[in-house]
Structure 1
Amino acid sequence: MRSNRFRTTGLAATALLAALSLTACTGDDDAAAEKAGAAAPVASTSDQRSSTTGTDTGKTADDNAKDAGSKANAPAENAAGTSKGSGSGTSNAGTSNGNKGNTNSSPVTCTGDNTKVTVSKVSRPINHLLLTATNTGNRPCYAYHAPALRFDDSQAAFPVLRDSMPQAVVTLEPGQSAYASIGLSGEDDMNDLHKGTRLAVYFMPKSNSGSTGSPANLKLPADTYWGNNGFVTYWQTEMDDALTF
């Protein structure tokens, strides 16, 4: 009987010890679980913060990218505006250049409207006057043939010296001059001279028929006398050539 009681007691003791061990283990596991559970929310909060921070950072980066893009575009637009201004400026220059290019530079006929004509006495040859016609226009002009002269109220044009005809038509660029000499009288005029005070200079067209444009009306130098057998030369490019006749 004691033997059975001891066995029963031993078994009971063993069972108690096993229960205590199991309780202890369970307690440790619960404690570990509680610790793990306590740690888990901390980790989760950290992740949420990290995630939230990441999301905020993403939004800031986008906003910054947009701001940066806007700032980057602003100088580009300004630069484009400056370029347009320069282009406008270039366009105006182009238009100015185009206007110059479109200026008609083809020659016209010299007349009293686009030339300045003067008359002067010369020492050699004697009894001569010199006509000078200067192109005052902005286009070249042709000084065709010889000028047609009328002294005072004379009805007849002054004779032209045919031997003075140049090899080519005299062309005057703006600012250039042509010359013609006037032999006031001939040998047969010594007893039939006229005192002159005014001279009308007419320009001839290419056809050499009639006259063209306005005449130049000049005041003659003092003590100018002319005769019916005098002459006027063709227009010449050089003054010396005009005064050789």
Structure 2
Amino acid sequence: MRTNRFRTTALAATALVAALSLTACGGEDEAMGTKTAGSATGTAAPAATSTGDKTGTGDTEQPEAPAAGKPEAQTVPAGDKHAGGNGTGTGTGTGDNRSKKPKAAPDAEAAAAIPACTPKNSRVKVSSVSRPINHLLLTVTNTGSTDCAAYYAPFLRFENAQAVYPILEDSKPQAVVTLSPGEEAYAGIALLGEPGEDEPVKSANLGVITVDRNNQPKGETTLKLPAGTVTDSRGFVTYWQSDLETALMF
């Protein structure tokens, strides 16, 4: 009987040890984050969000209208620009454009004392450009020994055209462009408007009239245009600009 009791007790003790071992393993599995049965469930962490004020405002001052001049030139109002003219003039057929930067007149009184750039003290040339399309570039160079000012915009007479070419009012710079000897100023010419608006006119020659500070003609230069140049009534010429990129951005 005692032997049987010991045997029963031993078996019971063995069963208890086994049960405790299983419990310990289960606890260790849970502590280590593992499960032997059942489906794992969980919720995704919410996405991180950030807030910030990245808005800004800016005001653009519209240019003033130029003084009246002779011959009278049409003007292109704001919002009525050449259809293909928005862009930058990155490619030109002008060769070396590494001239000195022209300087703006410090004030109206100083500008009034500077003579205009005319055929007597400057040289004008016209060049084709690769971009934007349907554009030409006018360049005036001070060939004199003193400063001259490129006032307003040049008056243009395209051969076979019925009127003086329109001037783009939106292109008026903040100050008169003043050129020291050897320096250059630029004006962009848009040749065509929307296709089909009117019949383009072919021209072989261009008359360029520079003006004084009162917007009065001070001499005309006749230039030969690139072969195949055509214009229509929706084209325009810009005011004189101090850099080539600005002249071709309209």
Q: Which TM bucket (shorter chain)?
A: 0.5 to 0.7
SS in 1 for 2:167: coil
Question: How far apart are residue 155 of structure 1 and its match?
Answer: 4.4
1:157-236 equivalences under 5 Å are 157-187=164-194, 191-208=198-215, 210-212=216-218, 214-236=219-241
Amino acid of the structure 1 residue aligned with 2:242: T
Count residues with an aligned counterpart: 138
Q: Residue 239 in 1 paired to residue 244 in 2?
A: yes
Aligned residue number for residue 146 of structure 2 = 139
Q: % of aligned pairs identical?
A: 51
Aligned residue number for residue 50 of structure 2 = none
1:66-81 equivalences under 5 Å are none
* Kept in 2: contact 1:107–1:139 (CA 8 A): no
* Kept in 2: contact 1:189–1:227 (CA 8 A): no
Between the aligned partners of 2:167 and 2:156, the Cα distance in structure 1 is 9
RMSD: 1.4
Per-residue CA deviations over 1:165-208 (Å, capped at 9, x if unaligned) read 00000001000000000000111655410111000000122112
Per-residue CA deviations over 1:107-155 (Å, capped at 9, x if unaligned) read 3111122111111111111000000000001110010000000001434
* Kept in 2: contact 1:193–1:226 (CA 8 A): yes
Amino acid of the structure 1 residue aligned with 2:147: P
Per-residue CA deviations over 1:77-129 (Å, capped at 9, x if unaligned) read xxxxxxxxxxxxxxxxxxxxxxxxxxxxx631111221111111111110000
Between the aligned partners of 2:185 and 2:191, the Cα distance in structure 1 is 19
Distance 1:197 1:189, change over 3 A: farther
Between the aligned partners of 2:169 and 2:229, the Cα distance in structure 1 is 24
Q: Which segment is superposed worse, 150-159 or 132-141?
A: 150-159
Between the aligned partners of 1:207 and 1:188, the Cα distance in structure 2 is 36
Runs of 4+ in 1 over 4 A off after TM superposition: 188-191
Amino acid of the structure 2 residue aligned with 1:142: A
* Kept in 1: contact 2:160–2:202 (CA 8 A): no
Between the aligned partners of 1:145 and 1:170, the Cα distance in structure 2 is 9
SS in 2 for 1:163: helix
Structure 1 portions without partners, runs of 5+: 1-105
Distance 1:155 1:227, change over 3 A: closer
SS in 1 for 2:138: strand
Amino acid of the structure 2 residue aligned with 1:218: L
1:124 to 117, 120, 131: 131
User: Which structure has the bigger radius of gyration?
Assistant: 1
Aligned residue number for residue 163 of structure 2 = 156
SS in 2 for 1:123: coil
Between the aligned partners of 1:191 and 1:165, the Cα distance in structure 2 is 27
TM-score, normalised via structure 2 length: 0.53
SS in 2 for 1:108: coil
SS in 1 for 2:130: coil
Amino acid of the structure 2 residue aligned with 1:217: T
Q: Which segment is superposed worse, 181-190 or 140-149?
A: 181-190
Amino acid of the structure 1 residue aligned with 2:217: S
Between the aligned partners of 1:169 and 1:191, the Cα distance in structure 2 is 34
Amino acid of the structure 2 residue aligned with 1:211: P
Question: How far apart are residue 228 of structure 1 and its match?
Answer: 1.2
Amino acid of the structure 2 residue aligned with 1:116: R
Decide which structure has greater helix share. Answer: 1
